[in-house]
Structure 1
Amino acid sequence: MFPRAEVESDCYMARRGEARKDGKGRRLWKKVRYQLVEYHSLPNYLKDNEYILGYYRSEWPLKQTLFSIFTIHNETLNVWTHLIGFFLFLALTIYTAVKVPKVVDIHSLQQLPEMLKRADLHKLQSDLVACLPALPQLSHLHRLKEELRSSLPTMDSLSSLTRWHLVELISNCFPQRLSHPNQAQHSILNEVVANIITPLFAHRIPRWPFFAFLGGAMFCLLASSVCHLLSCHSRRIAYIMLRLDYAGIAALISTSFYPPVYYSFMCDPFFCNLYLGLITLLGCTTMLVSLLPVFQNPEYRSIRAGLFFGMGISGVVPVLHKLIAFRNQPEAVYTTQYEVLMGILYGLGALLYATRIPERWMPGKFDIAGHSHQLFHVLVVAGALTHYKAGLVYLKWRDLQGCAK
């Protein structure tokens, strides 16, 4: 018989060895479990692009899925291309809310005589006083008012006369630096004059269509980033995230029409409401169709792309209408050029997404970077930025002219 102490010692060491083995096994399993896998190892609901062969995350826990935003896999650039775009549009939204209503370029001075024909001189005087609180000699304002009154009947020399006195007024606000302005300082003065005078006659049109577009862009970009980050967690999460992603795309396309339609036809309520109503209805229909489970199957990739492409093509009608109605307005041409470029960028992105170019030419070579979905994301951000530039032209156009054609 073995001594009892020796038997207990052997049992203790055996249990300790098993514990060590189990601990090592768990660590090894955890390390292996969170390794990237190849396409053929994926569950069916994660199989979408057979030309991307490796670097997949498959059914990871939520914590590891969230932290994978900082690791390398085949969705890393899909997440970051739209996440960076989201923060970019968030910054543009803040800039638009704070700065854009105050931004008027020097060319606005060319329209000063026409605007003064419609001006209330008493209001002009009070507004100038408010704009120039540090003006040392308010008598200049009374002289300006008299000059305006005497010149209004003929308007022959109003532009140069008014501009000269306004420059004199601004100079009096900066007596040390601009008492004898040189050519460079005159340029600064002209810009200051433009930014003071033009807002006095601006129409301050509603901004909600422009902010609706910015909101739609941010929703689309953020929803896409979250979808690509979390879809690998489980079948249920993948289902929810894909629905959210499709809704974001529909929201971006729909709200992209709000600025051009509203600002082009704000003076024609019938066509304004007609176009806005149709694009909103089409966007909501697309969102509802995207909720169908069959919509996410890989074999319906071309149908998905075609549906969103059709939404974009529907914008051709109001754009052509705008060109005909405002054919004498340079703003109509400028904005159309931006919108055509936006359509090309969106269309090219949808084409790459549907055809899986370039990875279909060299499967496995573009798993980490350069595959079609990443290119699609970059083109979407570029198209949205192009549309933002067009929106700024619309705002300036309508702020200065109102409903005047």
Structure 2
Amino acid sequence: MDRIDRDEMLQKVELESSWHEGRDRSEKVGKGRRLWKKVKYQLVEYHCLPNYLKDNEYILGYYRSEWPLKQILFSTFTIHNETLNVWTHLVGFFLFLALTVYTAIMVPKVVDIQSLQQLPEVLKNADLHKLHSELVSCLPALPQLSHLQRLKNDLKSSLRTIDSLPSLSCWHLLELLSSCFPQRLAHGNQTNRGVAAEVANTIASLFVRPIPRWPFFAFLSGAMFCLLSSSACHLLSCHSRRLAYIMLRLDYAGIAALISTSFYPPVYYSFLCDPFLCHFYLGLITILGCTTVAVSLIPAFQEPEYRAVRAGLFFGMGLSGVVPVLHKLIAFRHQPEAVYTTGYELLMGLLYGFGALLYATRIPERWKPGKFDIAGHSHQLFHVLVVAGAFTHYRAGLVYLKWRDLEGC
């Protein structure tokens, strides 16, 4: 019995010893894993990166390297050398999304020209003296009473008298009507209020032509695609070699889309009355954009030594749009809108070109390596200039829409 009890005691001691050893081992493993996670998801320096993530040797630190997607998504709201690259274009995307919604809602839509047939009847029953005083108090830019009287007398036989009216901006008129009439005419006669609103809306419709909006929205779509794909590329490329390859191609496609669609509004609205030139220029810029995307699929295209080639290719693509812009300026040199839009397009080209120059030369970080790792390096400046250039082109697009809406073909 004594031997049996002694053997059992030894077995228990051995079991307890092995259990404690196992617990100590598991605690050490747990501590090691926690320490590895802390070290693994720390920012690293340039020399620690795998080759596919080495792009700019003048940015020395604050890199993310082969992080899991969960940690990458969280890094959207942390500080590293890609934070501003992500947010400059992400904010730009939401800006152009808001501009797209604003353009679709606030910019006057096409009004059926058949509504003009109702104008003589409306004016026939209107007291023009009272009507004019009410309209002018609300809308100072409205034509004089003599023009309204002449419109009432002559419109029954011809609509050509419309061309003799003073220039009137239907874009602002429609906006004023929605806010002005309910306030200024709220206490007036119900009939007069209805007649005033109907006359003013009909006058506004005189200046609207059925001009398609799709080229303008194509540009807005191209801008949003470029900005969103660029932001996603800078955020996700540090995950793995394969994902970096995919995101870089998507980024290049977005740049080509922005450049191509930027020329849709000027080409379409400038040569609206010449279908051959319109289709020729649109087809040419589209083919050039597709070719650029195809070239960007070549693996060697993303190598750091081809940085200048990448910048030059996209710069040359943008430079090709000079031909239709100059053609427009010569063909419509007497039109103020042609001069205004050309000024906007020159400014857009300067912003894009200067951004590409900074990107290719890696200024200012090449002057002081490591000083611009977080903020101020060339790629961030390039992003800001791209958003500024695209917004400049949006302003030019509004001028094109007003021009063609007022004058038609």
TM score, norm. by length of structure 1: 0.82
- Taking the aligned partners of 1:172 and 1:65, their CA distance within structure 2 comes to 53
Structure-2 change in CA distance of 1:121 and 1:99 (3 Å): closer
Cα drift, residue 254 of structure 1: 0.3
Larger deviation: 195-204 or 89-98? Answer: 195-204
Equivalent in the alignment of 2:117: 122
Q: Take 2:183 and 2:45, find their aligned partners in 1: how far apart are those partners?
A: 70
Matches within 5 A, 1:237-252: 237-252=243-258
Q: Does 1:306 align with 2:305?
A: no
> Which has more radius of gyration?
2
Aligned to 1:64: 71
Classify 1:139/1:258 alpha carbon distance in 2 versus 1 (closer, same or farther; 3 Å). Answer: same
User: What secondary structure sits across from 2:235 in the alignment?
Assistant: helix
- How much does 1:26 deviate? 0.4
Matches within 5 A, 1:350-361: 350-361=356-367
1:246·1:287 contact (CA, 8 Å) conserved in 2? yes
CA positional deviation for 1:175? 4.1
Match for residue 394 of structure 1 among 361, 375, 400: 400
8 A Cα contact 1:75 1:368, kept in partner: yes
Structure 1 residues not aligned, in runs of 5+: 104-117, 130-136, 163-169, 180-189
Which secondary structure does the structure 2 equivalent of 1:250 belong to? helix
Measure, in 2, the Cα distance between the counterparts of 1:303 and 1:278: 21
State the Cα deviation string for residues 111-155 of structure 1 (Å, max 9, x = none). xxxxxxx998534347x69xxxxxxx95448x9998535346896
Q: Structure 1 stretch 320-329 or stretch 191-200: which is displaced more?
A: 191-200
Structure 1 segments, 4+ long, off by >3 Å, are: 118-121, 137-141, 143-147, 151-156, 170-179, 190-196
Report if aligned partners of 1:331, 1:393 keep a CA contact under 8 Å in 2. Answer: yes
Of 80, 94, 100, the residue aligned with 1:93 is 100
| Secondary structure of 1:197's aligned partner | helix
Corresponding residue for residue 114 of structure 1: none
The change in CA–CA distance for 1:28 and 1:325 in structure 2 (over 3 A counts) is same
User: Take 2:255 and 2:269, find their aligned partners in 1: how far apart are those partners?
Assistant: 23
1:161-185 deviation digits (Å, cap 9, x = unpaired) = x9xxxxxxx9899545579xxxxxx
Is 1:54 aligned to 2:61, yes or no? yes
Cα distance change, pair 349–196 in 1 and its aligned pair in 2 (3 A): farther
Equivalent residue number for residue 336 of structure 2: 330
Question: Partner of 2:82 in structure 1?
Answer: 75
Identity level (%): 72
Shift in CA distance, 191/212, structure 1 to aligned 2, threshold 3 Å: farther
Cα distance, 1:49–1:9 mapped onto 2, change above 3 Å? same
* TM-score, structure 2 normalization: 0.81
SS of equivalent to 2:56: coil
Query: Is the 8 Å Cα contact of residues 349 and 375 (structure 1) preserved in structure 2?
Result: yes
C-alpha contact 1:171 1:178 (8 A) present in aligned 2 = no
Letter matched to residue 101 of structure 1? P
Give the total of aligned pairs: 362
Question: Could you say what secondary structure the match of 1:101 adopts?
Answer: coil
CA distance change for structure 1 residues 192 and 324 in 2, over 3 Å: closer, same or farther? farther
- What is residue 286 of structure 1 aligned with on the other side? 292
Deviation at 1:201, TM superposition (A): 3.6
2:369 counterpart residue number: 363
Q: Does the 8 A contact of 2:226 with 2:258 survive in 1?
A: yes
**Amino acid in the other structure paired with 1:19:** S
TM-fit CA distance, 1:274: 0.9
The 1:171–1:151 alpha-carbon spacing in structure 2 relative to 1, beyond 3 Å, is: farther
Letter of the structure 1 residue corresponding to residue 31 of structure 2 = K
Contact 2:181 2:197 in 1 (8 A): no
Pick aligned residue for 1:379 from 381, 385, 388: 385
Give the letter for the 1:58 counterpart: S
SS at 1:343's partner residue? helix
Q: What code does the residue aligned with 1:10 have?
A: S
1:33 aligns with 2:28: no
Q: Is the 8 A contact 1:39 1:52 kept in 2?
A: yes
Structure 2, unpaired ranges of 5+: 1-5, 132-146, 169-179, 190-195
Q: CA RMSD in A?
A: 3.1
Please say if residues 52 and 364 of structure 1, whose CA atoms lie closer than 8 Å, have aligned partners that are also in contact: yes
Contact 1:219 1:248 survives alignment (8 Å): yes
Q: Which residue of 2 aligns with 1:133?
A: none
2:208 is matched with which residue? 202
**Quick check: 1:12 aligned with 2:15?**
no
1:199-239 deviations in Å (ceiling 9; x for gaps): 23411200000000000000000000000000000000000
2:239 aligns with one of 219, 222, 233: 233
Q: Are residues 124 and 13 of structure 1, via their aligned partners in 2, closer, same or farther at CA, if it must alter by over 3 Å?
A: same
